[in-house]
Structure 1
């Protein structure tokens, strides 16, 4: 294996091992010793790639930020109606969280960082703004029940998603998070979408039409 490929593989192994520990225990309770034990690497090999445990955590946070940006852009590019885009974005986010411990660890680390460092931009607030924009756009398209408040919908979805993630993480290591999110969507969407609206562009057999 070329040296560059070996270096990349080693860095990815460190991120994977650190993610498994961070996802399980959080930042403060994760030790460098435990990460090294998972990888079988020496401290020297670790420090060649990362200056500290904090540097690994920052790399994982950056990774999850990039993943969410890519996901949002891809769903917007599909050209679906706003509510279908919102449903798909939420559902795929949950699928990714359940399947990818590296992403999941980045999300947990970012949440801990927001709590520990007042003034750091809050991801949940950013998601609320994104959801508000989709729901408001749906209203402009005549795709919203009369009297629905986009900001209230955003707060409800974000709060429910956060609670679902915390419970799912604690009970099933996020395995049932996709099902929980689809349950949330199944209750919220019929209350805001007009009669006759149907989900479009679904990639998942479990995402059927909405029947208010």
Structure 2
């Protein structure tokens, strides 16, 4: 098998595993069910992955590692502070809606059956980044001094996670864009932004570039 074919086959298996984890959870998925999605046998997959745990790790790694690049691209285009945070929220939300690898990676973070796979601690990176962007927003005069940035970062990440989970449960995340607009309509006044509707619409539209 050539390196290019092997890489394509590996990616195909990871995506099939993500679809299975997304639908059945880690405990409900099996190598047999993943192989069935591909129309192959477990033996045909063993060249690339020897266990369900190794597949879960790959799916989670895809989810965790992509966001630094997205954040870098957003900053390279000049978005900082509160604007970068709002823009990123729409990018994450639409990828959650459209990319099964993102949905599966997030589901694996919450899966109680996932005991034999070591994953990075969930939410730590996002909470740290949110705090950093809030600090930038304060320096730019977007956020008043009386806002507790540590508390704000934690609550924003906690609530955003809830939006994802409820959207997935209620509509398979088809309405998550609208839910994120509502999320910001409720939270921006608490961050000192009295009228952020136009800002949110502009950044939501700009998120399609990422």
Aligned counterpart, 1:210: none
Structure 1 residues 185 and 141: alpha-carbon distance in aligned structure 2, compared to 1, 3 A threshold: same
Deviation at 1:169, TM superposition (A): 1.7
Structure 1 unaligned regions, length at least 5: 208-212
Deviation at 1:116, TM superposition (A): 4.6
TM-score by length of structure 1 reads: 0.84
TM-score by length of structure 2 reads: 0.85
Aligned counterpart, 2:84: 85
Aligned counterpart, 1:170: 169
Structure 1 residues 196 and 111: alpha-carbon distance in aligned structure 2, compared to 1, 3 A threshold: closer
Deviation at 1:95, TM superposition (A): 0.7
Deviation at 1:100, TM superposition (A): 0.1
How many residue pairs match? The answer is: 205
Alignment of 1:2-151 (within 5 A): 3-112=2-111, 116=115, 121-151=120-150
Q: Which has the higher contact order (CA 8 A, sep 6+)?
A: 2
Q: Distance in 1 between matches of 2:33 and 2:153?
A: 39
Structure 2 unaligned regions, length at least 5: none
Structure 1 residues 171 and 33: alpha-carbon distance in aligned structure 2, compared to 1, 3 A threshold: same
Aligned residues of 1:157 and 1:184 also touching (Cα < 8 A): no
Deviation at 1:110, TM superposition (A): 3.2
Aligned residues of 1:91 and 1:178 also touching (Cα < 8 A): yes
Structure 1 residues 120 and 10: alpha-carbon distance in aligned structure 2, compared to 1, 3 A threshold: closer
Q: Distance in 2 between matches of 1:19 and 1:191?
A: 37
Aligned residues of 1:72 and 1:89 also touching (Cα < 8 A): yes
2:40 match: secondary structure: coil
- CA offsets 1:11-51 (integer angstroms, 9 cap, x no match): 22211211111001111111111111100112221001112
Deviation at 1:62, TM superposition (A): 1.0
The range that moved more, 153-162 or 120-129, is 120-129
Q: Distance in 2 between matches of 1:125 and 1:115?
A: 19
